[in-house]
Amino acid sequence: MCGIIGISSNKSVSVSIINSLKKLEYRGYDSAGIATLFDGEITEVKSEGRVNVLEENFDLKNLKGNIGIGHVRWATHGAPNSINAHPHSSDNVSVVHNGIIENSTILKKYLTSKGHIFKSQTDTEVIVHLITENLKTDELDLAITKTLKQLHGSFALGIIFKDSPNLIVGARRGSPLAVGYGPNENYLGSDSYALKAMTNKITYLDDGEFCIIRNDQVLFFNEDGKKINKKIMELSSDESSYEKGEFKHFMAKEIEEQPTTIKTGIKEYIDKTNLDINIYNFPWKVDEINSITLIGCGTAYHSCLMAKYWFENLTQLDVNIDIASEFRYRKNRFKKDSLYIFVSQSGETADTYAALDLCNRNKMKTCAVVNVIESSIARDSNFVLPIHCGPEIGVASTKAFLGQILILYILALKFGDLRKETNKENYKNKIKGLLNLPSLIEKSLLMDNDIQAISSTFNEAKGSMFLGRGFSYPIALEGALKLKELSYVHAEGYPAGEMKHGPLALIEDGMPVVVLAPRDSYYKKTISNMQEVIARGAKVLLITNKSKDEIISENIWETIEVENTNDDLLPFLLTIPLQKLAYYSALQKGYDIDKPRNLAKSVTVE
């Protein structure tokens, strides 16, 4: 989950590398570094902490060179300090790395026996010494091919060489890597976001490939070192989504953008005139699919859980969900009539990609629900459903979550219609409900003062619970996750009916408990569970939808009412106050909301 950048130019590159590293901080921010090649010498400058600390390093001011690599780190091996920060260098090679080298211990023993001396605790340093060792007997391209085959694990690499003053080598296995093209300079980066300020012409490396970048040339090679051709993609030049504008944090901006992003998603998939769903180029007949497995991690897993309820309500399909990090370690019984749906904001989530790769190797039907259509998961799936949210920079997902559940709901609706398991009138009524959703989300966003006043109670408690039934249960899980991610407060989401099967023992006087109880078919049961926790001293924050009916309980601490819509769509509205609760809790504590500790946006390591 680190970020890497490389630039080969005809002018000094250190300022451009630093600017790119600032954009890459959402991938890691516990240390940062840069190495350039000038006058036959590799020079490193590294610092613990954020890129602004590196920027203030006195040595950086004197750093020269028209070729260089940079790195922001999310630590996996070794403490986050300047010694373990990347780049790692020998006398003639310097490397930046995103990923994990699984056989680093074995390689380190081998290299130590050859006389190599290690300075850091990282797995990355073995790559430096391995290349150095292989260069003793092989030319550069052969040494690189040989080195990559000796490495087990995942990596995206940027490499510069003392004896090759005009080139950078990039290599990819598992972790994403992009090449950018500019006038008299070319670039290497973890993703297009890091490169977009310099170019909108991008090529993505596929697994096993490597490239050699010069300021006037880019060459691509397969895993056997044979030259290959790659397509150049032209990306949108719109930069507005990458700026905070009037907002203090990206997360605040992204929460407020949700009416617009949901409207965009609806526009992409809904035919307003005919009240129909347009999903073009679906590569299978609907009767070829009898079961669905939804796969994701973290917030994306909660999207999958949400979709399970919809698919089960709207179709007769068998529906399973899987946490991606567990999927490929079980004995899966693949069936030809199954559709596997992979959900990922970045489209680069390592565990999810590994699950996709396993399905592809077993020739399964695969579909990606992603925010980045150029991503690895999108490129390697049979079919792609983009969520059309635009870049999400805040590490804690907000608008991408609503985007994911929107597209999954639309897909479930379409399956129900095609399979004739949802009657036509009901189908059209649900589409009408969808068309009203953006305005309902906009109204539900107008509750900042109420949420700010409530959030301090969650900060002062040693823990909290989020409860829901049916459609509300995945939202309870997501609400608890957001509070954990941003405020570092212990929070757990539970099905409300599970409280009496153990978790009720944790309830004590004054403990904040969020109860999601919209007036749906689960309402009375959820209110009954709420009374159980109130009786044991909990301070209940009830989140429901507006109604003339009184709530069936007394002694509720606080109540928030969202707008009314059909039961299917209430989860969208219930999510909004939970996002704001997490945001304001972190704001009160003075935490870095866009970059919570120990986390990174794109999880590209297992």
d(CA 194, CA 24): 6
Structure tokens at 458: 């969650």
- What is the number of residues in the chain? 606
* CA angle 540–546–551, rounded 5-degree value: 45
Q: Do 206 and 348 contact (CB within 8 A), yes or no?
A: no
Q: How many whole angstroms separate alpha carbon 99 and alpha carbon 350?
A: 9
**Residue 550 in tokens:** 């009184």
Single out the residue of 537, 542, 544, 531 nearest to residue 471, CA to CA: 544
DSSP secondary structure letters along 168-184 = EEEEEEBS--EEEEETT
SS3 content of the chain, % helix, strand, coil (to 5): 40, 25, 35
How far apart CA 536 and CA 223 sit, in angstroms, is 62
- CA nearest to 402, candidates 520, 261, 291, 279: 261
State the virtual CA torsion across 531, 575, 572, 378 in degrees, nearest 10.
-130
CA Rg, the chain, in Å? 25
Is 602 within 8 Å of 189 (Cβ atoms)? no
Strand partners, 4: 71
What is the rounded distance in angstroms from the CA atom of residue 78 to the CA atom of residue 85? 9
Active site annotation includes 297: no
**Catalytic residue check, 359:** no
Catalytic residue, chosen from 2, 211, 304, 389, is 2
DSSP string, 448-504: HHHHHHHHHHHHHSS-EEEEE-TTHHHHHHHHHHHHHHHH---EEEEEGGGGGGTGG
Token pair recorded at residue 484? 């954990």
46, 308, 365, 601: the catalytic one is 601
Give the closest residue to 395 by CA, choosing from 193, 599, 192. 599
Q: Kindly list the distances between the CA atom of residue 286 and the CA atoms of 278, 338, 390, in Å, as whole numbers in the listed order.
A: 14, 11, 30
Residue 545: in which H helix or E strand, if any?
strand 539-545
Cα dihedral 427, 432, 438, 441 sign:
negative
Q: What is the C-alpha separation between 149 and 402, in angstroms, rounded? A: 41
Which H or E element spans position 126?
helix 125-134
Asked if 207 contacts 174 with a C-beta cutoff of 8 angstroms, the reply is yes
Token duo for residue 536: 């044991």
Please give the positions annotated as active site.
2, 601
